[in-house]
Every structure is written in structure tokens, then in C-alpha cells.
Structure 1
Amino acid sequence: MVALTTRDEMKALAEKAGDELEGATALEILGWADEQFGPSWAVASSMADTVLPSLAAKVRPGVDVLFLDTGYHFAETLGTRDAAAATLPVTIRTVLPHQTVAEQDASFGARLYERNPDQCCALRKVMPLRKALKDYGAWASGLRRDEASTRAGVKVVEWDDSRGMVKLNPIAAWTQDDIDRYIVDNGVLVNPLLFDGYGSVGCAPCTRRIAPGEDARAGRWAGSGKIECGIH
């Protein structure tokens, strides 16, 4: 492990690694993180599948996997989380918002996700994750460049300026075919909603099935113009 004490040093480390690890395998990228940070890195997973937790567990068995329980998840998503906790060598940390859904409704009115989805995501995803990540020096996400135009420039290692930490995107260069192949070859758990017409899985009130030929993320916040929750 390298002892880095300043924000500038951490940023320089991330930017250098982003260039040098381009083309590296996902396991090599996660292995680099483990060398740099020891146990002080975590994975964030939405439990659409468990590809990233599976990869991370190969590098560090028992790795912390952060799951944001917004209070609005499909039962299938919670089931995938519980199955991952029972079958993978990882430590699932369920991260809760400051307020329950009922408390948020009392403060902001019911169905905030309809009236102000950005605020709802901030309260139930962005702020809770920020608080949880204070325990770590780096975190890994499952962002892929082929998912959306907003993600096309993602680097395999980046500086997360808003949180002041290193961010890993070890499967950034993977395609959907790569994901499908890894799932089959490794018997990876998949959220059953992905076999029921959903291309991407988020909160139940804000996620719909997609039509044939639609982008995989077309069912997220459909009709609102919103395409990202704000975490990334």
C-alpha cells in the first residue's frame, strides 16, 4: 500500500492509473486498487446483476458491497441482494437514506419522484452513498461505456472530485456480450427482472419495461428527460 496523504496526490494517482490501466482486465484493475488501498475500497452495486461483486470477491474475498436501499426497490432486487449475501464471499452493506419513505413524504409530499426526481435521487441515493463512502479511499462501480452516451468517456480509473476519492470502473470497456458471457461462464446471479422485459433496473416507481429495439436504459425515468441518478 502506498501512503498518500493529500488530495492532490490521490488525484495524480488516479489520473496516472486511468491512463496506464486502459486495456487491463477487470481483475487487474481491481487488483491495482487492492494493492493501493488494502481493505479500504468498496463496490457499489444496484443488484441488477452481481458481475462486479463477483469480480471484486476474486481479488478480495469479503470485500464490502454497498447496496443503496431506497425504500422503492422491486422485491426481485432485494431478493438478488439477499441471494448475493448468502452465496458470494462478500460483505453486503445495506445503505439507508436519512429518512424513511413515510418521513420523506411528510417532509416533501408524496411521490416526490414524480414531481422532482432529481431531489428524490439526491435524498435516497446520492447523499446516503456519499456518507457511506467516507469509510473508504476508493470505490468501484459497474459503469460501462456502451450503456449510454453520457458514459462513453468513462475511464477505468478516475478521480471522483465531488467525493475526494478514487473511483474504479473496471468493466468500463465491457460490452453486453462480455457481460452475458461472464454471467454464463461463472454462474453469476442476475436480477430476474432482466428476463422480464427490463433493460436496466432502478426504483420500481421510476422504471418500466423496454420495447424491442429500445436502449437498455430507456425504461429509467421514462418521459422525464432524466438519464442519470446523480451518483456518477
Structure 2
Amino acid sequence: MPRFSLAYMPGVTPTKWVRIWKERQPDVPIELLMTDVASQVAALRDGRADMSLVRLPIDREGLNVIALYEEIPVVVLPKDHAATEFDEVTLADLANETWLEFPELTDEQRIDVVATGAGIVVVPQSIARLYARKDLTYRPVTDAKTTEVALAWPVDTAADPDLIEEFIGIVRGRTARSSRAVPTPPTEKPKREPAGPKSAKKKPPRRAQRQSSGAPKRKKRH
């Protein structure tokens, strides 16, 4: 029986894509494997996964990579922190804070350290939601670097290429009836008809365009 295995990072939710796969490929079970930063690429190289939903950057050697979407960066804070008075913050607002690096720790472990009051950490919003705690909250950081989620698979994959292409189509939103073999023909521009007599009808006056007053300021929470 053919099989298809998909790895994914914490916070990345493949539920919708898995559901569509089961509808379109009922005879091909899909196996799910949760990975971490250290194993998201290793799972592809050692054959545990046919494809993987990874969090960039990664070592792309020998891999095909399709970028999917960017994640909103948020700062995880104790609920009584002064920054929680605002809907969003900037890095400058957090300049005097203690930043928790600890690259050897997982995101969940670093968030647990925040709860001790030792410092703060910036993570993707999906991670903050996944490891939410009652004593912590988070706020978007408007000028922090975003992270990007991508779909990756080996160039020399041993998986069925039709299954690989099927999952790419699902992620990209192709319908079940869409063809991967036949490209969409270019749209032809309509031919111009000969110009007729000019109408004496007056054009309505243009409305004055509203000018933007600039970027919205951060709102204070009430």
C-alpha cells in the first residue's frame, strides 16, 4: 500500500491540508510527524518524512523549498508587565528588558522561563498560542523580524512524484478538478472596436480623494 508522510513544526497547523488529502487520496494514508528545529530537515534527509512544513531559515542543500506564509512575531510577557497596557509594541519599547536566548532550549521551555520573571522572549504568534499559560500573555512586535513557514522535500525523493505533486497542489489551493499537466492559456485581450461619435454627456465631477493622516499609532488598552 502506498504511504505518504508529512513532518511539521510546532505551531504550524496542517489540519486543513490533511483533511483535504484524506478526501482526495482515501487509499493513501498520511502519517504525521512533529519535529523541532534540530530535526525538521533531518526528518527529510533520513527518510522519516516525504515532505515537511518547516520554519525558515534551513539548510536548503538537496531540497526543494516553497515559501508559504510569514508569521507574526510577538513578545511573551507576564500578565502584570507594563507593556501589556498596549495592543502592540516596538523593539524600542522593550530595549531595557532582559532577553532570553538559550538556543539549547525549546520554545516551550523558554516560555516557561518567562513565567519565572527572568526575562522575555519573542516567538511566532502560533508558538505563543500553542504554549499559552494563564500567567502569561503576548503582544505583537511591529518591527521585529518575521519568520516564514515553507514546504520542503528532497530533490532526489524516493516518494511517488504524483503524491508529492498532489500535496503541493493542496497547499497551493488547487481544486480537485484542476489539471497539473495543462498550463492555463494566456488571456487574450479583446479587440478594440472603431470609435463612434463622441457623446455630449458630461462626465460626473471627481470626488476629492482623502489624504491619509499617516500610520496609525499604537493604541493604549483600556
TM-score category of the 2 structures, normalised to the smaller one? under 0.3
Answer 1 or 2: which has greater strand percent: 2
Structure possessing the higher relative contact order (Cα contacts under 8 Å, 6 or more residues apart)? 2
Larger helix share, 1 or 2: 1
Per the normalisation by structure 1, the TM-score is: 0.21
